[in-house]
Structure 1
Amino acid sequence: MLNKLPKKMKSLTPKPLTIRLHGGVPTSAHTTNLRNHGHPLDNVEPYTPPHETRIEISEAAPSNLQTQTHKKQFRTQTAMRHLKRIPVLMRVGAQTTKNLGLSLALMARHPVQRLPSKEVQKRSTRPATPTPLPRPETPQLPAERHKQKWPYALTKKIREYVNNCNELMARTLRVNPLHSKALTAFVIIALVLILPIPIFSFYQNIQAQGEAIISDGHATAAGLKSGSARLAQGDFDGASREFSKTLETVEHTQAQLENIKTLLPLLPKSSTAGLAKELPGLTDGLKSLSFALLNFSEALKNIPQEKTAPTELIKHVNEALAVTLPRVHSAAAAFEQLDPGALPKTYQETLTQAQRFILALDADLTKFTRVNEFMANILGADQSRRYLIIFQNDAEIRPTGGFIGSLALLDVDRGAIKKLEIPGGGPYDFQGQQEKYVRPPQPLLLLNDRWELQDANWFPDFPTSAKQIMWFWEHAGQPSVDGVIAVNASLVERLLANLPAVELPKYNTQVTAANFRDVTQTQAEVLYDKTENKPKQFIADLAPEILKKMAEQKNPDDVLTLALTFSEGLMEGEIQLYFTDTEFQTFAKTLGVDGAVATTEPTTDYLYVVNTNIGGGKTDRVVTQTVYHEARVEEDGSIIDTVTIKRTHNGAADEVFYGADNINYLRVYVPRGAELLDAAGFSVPDERMFSGSETWYELSPLIDSVDQKGTYDEKSGTFISNEFSKTVFAHWLHTKPGETSIARMTYRLPFKAFEPKPTPSFVSRAVRIVTQAPENVLGYTLYVQKQPGVRQQDMVSTVVLPEAWQTTWQSAPFLQDNNRMTTYLAADRDSTYALAALKP
């Protein structure tokens, strides 16, 4: 530096100093400070006087010119040094802020008791003078003591923090200690004032993104609902569009969460809980579902619509499903893994419904594919086939679904109808053609003294009834058939709901789903030609027109909707199938469309309530039924069942079709070997209303084959028999218009919920207490079969456990009231549930 100065300035260089330090050697701070002011320290002469410390500096007094030049030079150097230290100053500010935060956090967690001042410490060293004993202080709670300590601890922590900042400033920036205090204060104040501005803005931005995420959540919920609704309607193209939009919303939400994933705790919990975890799975599920529906919709559009046989259409639909199903499986798997409980409550119900719908869709489409293959075969995809179709009127309930009011002989080949014959008189046209006269089951004597085709569906097991129907058909001189198909009137209503109105100019009317029942009953029972005496001719004319409307549906979406209607009818027992071909019949049983009485395990409770309208008109259309089932488990493990049947006749006595009394022969099928304990609420029709059969009438071989022979309970008059590996309790229930009938049966099951163990020894009791092993395990399972054709029915089941028993597992949702467990079962199909309980 000196070499670069002009010659005139070199003479102004300060002369060497002589420093005497009274009290010790110079400190590094002293020497550094003096050297920074431009004084070379050449001579240091320390000595230590006994009582005082002072510094003496001597040098030659500079001239005025030297002083001014020196001041200018000093200010220039100082300015340059401070300019270079600005970045360091910023780092120091950040460090000081961090130190302050750490100090405050430590102070809050570990409050420090105030230390006595130096003055107090000095006084404490003096000899103590006698003072009176202090009064005992009132004990203070820990919170109060902490309240008194924390201000002093805060003061101490702040003082320590400021001192640390001063030292950091002096050491890092090489600033005069006096100046560093001011600089420290400036930095702290600047940070306190400036930092909240961007932090507040940043938090506002996070809140805005949180609100956007919440908005996306509403849009996602709406999209799931809309897409599911379109899918349920068979609108696959529209469903694909809705799910695609929903997918875009979910991906947008996922991108927003990805941007702020490290800051999610700053957002409200209701809007962020579980979103980041569940959105990837929801995205995968929606992608798979959208692509599946889009591919399926495109495949349906590519199916040729002109001159295509129905079996070929079914084949094309199955090919489209084969491409679609893997993606539907993937979507179902992704949705199944989602946890609705991890989302905000606003969206939990929507996601739960979507999960159920998509899982059901996966199962239904898989089964629908198998049903389609099955339908193609029975429709003659490989060869021509002939079937006897019986139309059952569920307004007059019978064991398999309804009274046989009409029937048809159908020939099909490659799905095309080659021949359809519907007798105008229905089954009554064959009354005089029977080769044999058969004695009917005893309850049917209320109507007729002999058994005929219209009453042949007496057995709730449809394969058995179908064999009886075929027996009557063939013994009337009719051709043999490949099977029997039962179709309920309620299914025809559902088909008409998906078809244009059927015009019948001959009758000057049109038939729709809304008026089908009334028009059909009026034409068949009131307005038919009494001279011609063909009351079922209207149905014979209507059926081909309905089939024609169905054949005119060339749009794949419409064809698929009709196919889905048939599929649902099969699953709900509105269509029941019996085939003479063993392979076909086995497949029908596998699909659960054979209408057979269910086979259950020996230790499974079983209930099948079967209604049979005998002479009660069409009143079952206005009768509502509720079945209450209660299984009470006794202390010894035995199970006592009570079944209560409540039937309400909602018709009026003056109504043409619904004003008659409802006369119902009621059969309750329970596990084989059950013991009837009590029955009440039943009423037997007057014996004079029954006909007597001729002694020479033959007995049906099927009556003997199902071992229907039984006995009557002396107390209640209940008929007890065994059929289809079940025990049957049968009685009459008579309900007048506007009234309610309630009947009850109580019986003991042939098995126990648990087997009581013998009284344990002292050692075994001790082992059980130590191992906490349960004394007994209780298990209970119920299977409820639904009668085809019965639609206005509620089913409630209750299990009553012994005292001190606690349920540990259940397969269905229950309402629990102490030891009573109640659940509501499906009214449109078979139901089952199971539970387990332990005795502590």
Structure 2
Amino acid sequence: MSGNGGIDLAAISGASPALSSAADTVSLTHGRLSDIETSALVPQIAAPLDQAIEALAPVKDKLTDAANASKILPSLLGAEGARNYLVLVQNNAEIRATGGLAGALAVLRAHDGRIELVTQSSGSALGMFSPAISVDPNQTTIYSNRLGKFIGDVNLTPDFPTVAASAKAMWESRHSERIEGVIAIDPVVLAHLLDASGPLEVAKDPATTSGLPATLTAGNVVKTLLSDVYTHLEGDSSQDAYFADVSRKIFESVSSGSIPGPKLLDALSKSVSEGRVLVWSAHKPEQEILTQNPLGGSISGPAASGAAFGVYFNDGTGAKMDFYVRRSVQLAKFCENDGYSLYKVRVKQTNTAPPNAATSLPDTVTGAGLHGVPAGFVQTNVVIYGPAFSQVDITRKDGTQVPFASHLHENRPVGTMATRLAPGQSTELEMTFITVVQDSPPNIRVTPTVQPVHDVWRVPEYVGCG
């Protein structure tokens, strides 16, 4: 921290050359070692070499991330003048590709390392945009023109630069602030921050909290914000107000400097690694660096190169039933033929809502059948991306081949299909991608849900030719 209570930007700028030099050195060393053909080496040499390459890989990645951060953090945090950032607080109970419905909104202002909360609002307050905001036609074909109509639907697409540009345009058409960046978070990020800061006291007035906890902790904040609030508070306005109050108090705790630096860094690092924090900048040099990192959330470019897969979920219920859905994702690689690989992406979903969900849960949670989905049921649009230039082949649902919609997004094949689950029902989709030319280790991005990521990401499977 600096003397003015903000972040010491001079220290970050001063460390940047050394971080960049170290990152370049480790990256070069890792590259040279990786280029050595180990098959002809004796085991006594090959084994230590493989171990060194494996050990250097995470060091290389972390140093590269640190070097890139040191290059853009000063300007992002207002070293060259004040910056306004639109924050989308995503509601995972009504899932969207990048996390959830952007129900709560805020504007943060960064100047000389200090951050202040300027404005709070909600998606419902912005209303519908007619005519719709202009969005890439290819993506509206895949995700519908709702991408440009409602800020709660801008993230039906998993491509965060598109999400951010649309959200920026919508906010600026209703408000006077000029937005120079967009940040997305979810309530699990708030839980990680509370784990670092300790319990948070919230409003205790029974008339406004109506049975909600007076103290929020890392253990209860997600359930409180994504489930209990709909049971104990009636109407969008009171729910939005409670959400805004909690978000404001957590922000005040973070910006006050009361959280120890290492704990705060751990909370933010964990949130980023889980895909729960996404950042976009309207400034091209900064955005070019962000696109090289998963933090930027781009479905194309350096962060999505190699054997990159993506599994994304969009709510089709029109309610808050995703709090009750448990999901898992597994990637299976099969034998190579003629230089190509075949991958299967498996997605399992279970509706854990109680059998009497239609009557025991509020209409705001079930949707009351208003959008064609019976109360208590969950409808999900599952979207799966394969690596660039591969092909999506077939899809099976619970072992039976089924039809699906096929698209192309930035040279990546996209398969989509809808599932509908009654309370207690499960289903498993398996989508096959063929002619995968990339031979790098596969990586996969998955929509962050209410679940811990270790419950969602199943161990990959590698099947030999036999």
The TM-score normalised by the length of structure 2 is: 0.74
Deviation per residue, 1:255-307 (Å, 9 max, x gap): xxxxxxxxxxxxxxxxxxxxxxxxxxxxxxxxxxxxxxxxxxxxxxxx77xx5
CA distance in 2, matches of 1:597, 1:603: 9
Do the aligned residues in 1 keep the contact of 2:292 with 2:303 (CA within 8 Å)? no
CA distance in 1, matches of 2:305, 2:290: 26
Match of 2:211 in 1: none
Structure with more relative contact order (C-alpha pairs < 8 Å, separation 6 or more): 2
Task: Measure how far apart 1:799 and its partner are.
Answer: 4.5
Q: Normalized per residue, which structure has more strand?
A: 2
CA distance in 2, matches of 1:601, 1:594: 8
Counterpart check, 1:538 vs 2:197: no
Do the aligned residues in 1 keep the contact of 2:406 with 2:414 (CA within 8 Å)? yes
Match of 1:649 in 2: 351
Match of 1:617 in 2: 320
CA distance in 2, matches of 1:378, 1:392: 22
Match of 1:726 in 2: 412
CA distance in 1, matches of 2:192, 2:98: 19
Aligned mate of 1:511, from 216, 224, 227? 216
Match of 2:256 in 1: 552
Match of 2:83 in 1: 385
Give the share of equivalent positions with the same residue, in percent.
Answer: 17
Going from structure 1 to structure 2, the CA distance change for 1:321 and 1:564 (only over 3 Å counts) comes to farther
CA distance in 2, matches of 1:622, 1:538: 24
Going from structure 1 to structure 2, the CA distance change for 1:525 and 1:450 (only over 3 Å counts) comes to farther
CA distance in 2, matches of 1:463, 1:325: 26
Task: Measure how far apart 1:602 and its partner are.
Answer: 12
Counterpart check, 1:420 vs 2:118: yes
Task: Measure how far apart 1:644 and its partner are.
Answer: 3.0
Match of 1:775 in 2: none
Give the aligned residue type for 1:559: G
Instruction: Please give the residue correspondences for 1:117-196 in structure 2 after superposition, counting only pairs within 5 Å.
Output: none
Counterpart check, 1:496 vs 2:194: yes
- Structure 1 alignment gaps of length 5 or more: 1-302, 334-340, 343-351, 684-714, 752-778, 803-818, 820-840
Match of 1:579 in 2: 281
Q: Secondary structure of the residue that 1:399 maps to in structure 2?
A: coil
Give the aligned residue type for 1:401: G
Task: Measure how far apart 1:464 and its partner are.
Answer: 1.3
Q: Secondary structure of the residue that 1:519 maps to in structure 2?
A: helix
CA distance in 2, matches of 1:362, 1:448: 40
Give the aligned residue type for 2:124: Y
Task: Measure how far apart 1:595 and its partner are.
Answer: 0.5
Give the aligned residue type for 2:131: K
Instruction: Please give the residue correspondences for 1:427-576 in structure 2 after superposition, counting only pairs within 5 Å.
Output: 427-431=123-127, 434-437=129-132, 451-476=149-174, 479-507=177-205, 509-521=214-226, 524-528=229-233, 530=235, 533-553=237-257, 558-576=260-278
CA distance in 2, matches of 1:601, 1:450: 25
Q: Secondary structure of the residue that 1:481 maps to in structure 2?
A: coil
Instruction: Please give the residue correspondences for 1:295-374 in structure 2 after superposition, counting only pairs within 5 Å.
Output: 307-312=3-8, 315-316=10-11, 364=62, 367-368=65-66, 370-372=68-70, 374=72
Instruction: Please give the residue correspondences for 1:770-809 in structure 2 after superposition, counting only pairs within 5 Å.
Output: 780-790=439-449, 791=453, 792-802=455-465
Do the aligned residues in 2 keep the contact of 1:391 with 1:406 (CA within 8 Å)? yes
Q: Normalized per residue, which structure has more helix?
A: 1
Match of 1:633 in 2: 336
Deviation per residue, 1:326-370 (Å, 9 max, x gap): 99999xx9xxxxxxx99xxxxxxxxx9xx96x9957864674464
Give the aligned residue type for 2:240: K
CA RMSD after TM alignment: 4.4
Deviation per residue, 1:470-512 (Å, 9 max, x gap): 2333344554310111112211110111113222235461222
Counterpart check, 1:749 vs 2:451: no
Going from structure 1 to structure 2, the CA distance change for 1:583 and 1:526 (only over 3 Å counts) comes to same
Task: Measure how far apart 1:551 and its partner are.
Answer: 3.2
Q: Secondary structure of the residue that 1:471 maps to in structure 2?
A: helix
Deviation per residue, 1:158-188 (Å, 9 max, x gap): xxxxxxxxxxxxxxxxxxxxxxxxxxxxxxx
**Larger Rg belongs to:** 1
CA distance in 2, matches of 1:328, 1:717: 47
Task: Measure how far apart 1:594 and its partner are.
Answer: 0.8
CA distance in 1, matches of 2:93, 2:205: 23
CA distance in 2, matches of 1:600, 1:322: 22
Do the aligned residues in 1 keep the contact of 2:79 with 2:111 (CA within 8 Å)? yes
Going from structure 1 to structure 2, the CA distance change for 1:628 and 1:580 (only over 3 Å counts) comes to closer
Give the aligned residue type for 1:785: I
Give the aligned residue type for 2:295: V
CA distance in 2, matches of 1:660, 1:607: 31
Task: Measure how far apart 1:428 and its partner are.
Answer: 0.6
Match of 2:97 in 1: 399
Task: Measure how far apart 1:399 and its partner are.
Answer: 1.1
Give the aligned residue type for 1:517: V
Task: Measure how far apart 1:517 and its partner are.
Answer: 1.8
Give the aligned residue type for 2:334: A
CA distance in 1, matches of 2:173, 2:267: 34
Task: Measure how far apart 1:541 and its partner are.
Answer: 1.6
Instruction: Please give the residue correspondences for 1:231-270 in structure 2 after superposition, counting only pairs within 5 Å.
Output: none
CA distance in 2, matches of 1:746, 1:498: 41
Do the aligned residues in 1 keep the contact of 2:312 with 2:447 (CA within 8 Å)? no
Q: Secondary structure of the residue that 1:535 maps to in structure 2?
A: helix
CA distance in 1, matches of 2:286, 2:10: 18
Q: Secondary structure of the residue that 1:520 maps to in structure 2?
A: helix
Do the aligned residues in 2 keep the contact of 1:383 with 1:414 (CA within 8 Å)? yes
Do the aligned residues in 2 keep the contact of 1:627 with 1:644 (CA within 8 Å)? yes
Give the aligned residue type for 1:737: P
Q: Secondary structure of the residue that 1:730 maps to in structure 2?
A: strand
Counterpart check, 1:661 vs 2:365: no
Do the aligned residues in 1 keep the contact of 2:386 with 2:433 (CA within 8 Å)? no
Task: Measure how far apart 1:783 and its partner are.
Answer: 2.8
Q: Secondary structure of the residue that 1:586 maps to in structure 2?
A: helix
Going from structure 1 to structure 2, the CA distance change for 1:551 and 1:626 (only over 3 Å counts) comes to closer
CA distance in 1, matches of 2:163, 2:285: 19
Match of 1:735 in 2: 421
CA distance in 1, matches of 2:153, 2:229: 18
Deviation per residue, 1:641-686 (Å, 9 max, x gap): 4333222334433463699333221122124554454323189xxx
Deviation per residue, 1:135-161 (Å, 9 max, x gap): xxxxxxxxxxxxxxxxxxxxxxxxxxx
Q: How many pairs are equivalent?
A: 414
Do the aligned residues in 2 keep the contact of 1:628 with 1:797 (CA within 8 Å)? yes
Task: Measure how far apart 1:723 and its partner are.
Answer: 0.6
Do the aligned residues in 2 keep the contact of 1:436 with 1:475 (CA within 8 Å)? no
Task: Measure how far apart 1:562 and its partner are.
Answer: 0.9
Do the aligned residues in 1 keep the contact of 2:133 with 2:169 (CA within 8 Å)? no
The TM-score normalised by the length of structure 1 is: 0.43
Give the aligned residue type for 2:320: G
Going from structure 1 to structure 2, the CA distance change for 1:581 and 1:316 (only over 3 Å counts) comes to closer
- Structure 2 alignment gaps of length 5 or more: 30-42, 45-50, 207-213, 367-374
Counterpart check, 1:678 vs 2:355: no
Going from structure 1 to structure 2, the CA distance change for 1:637 and 1:661 (only over 3 Å counts) comes to same
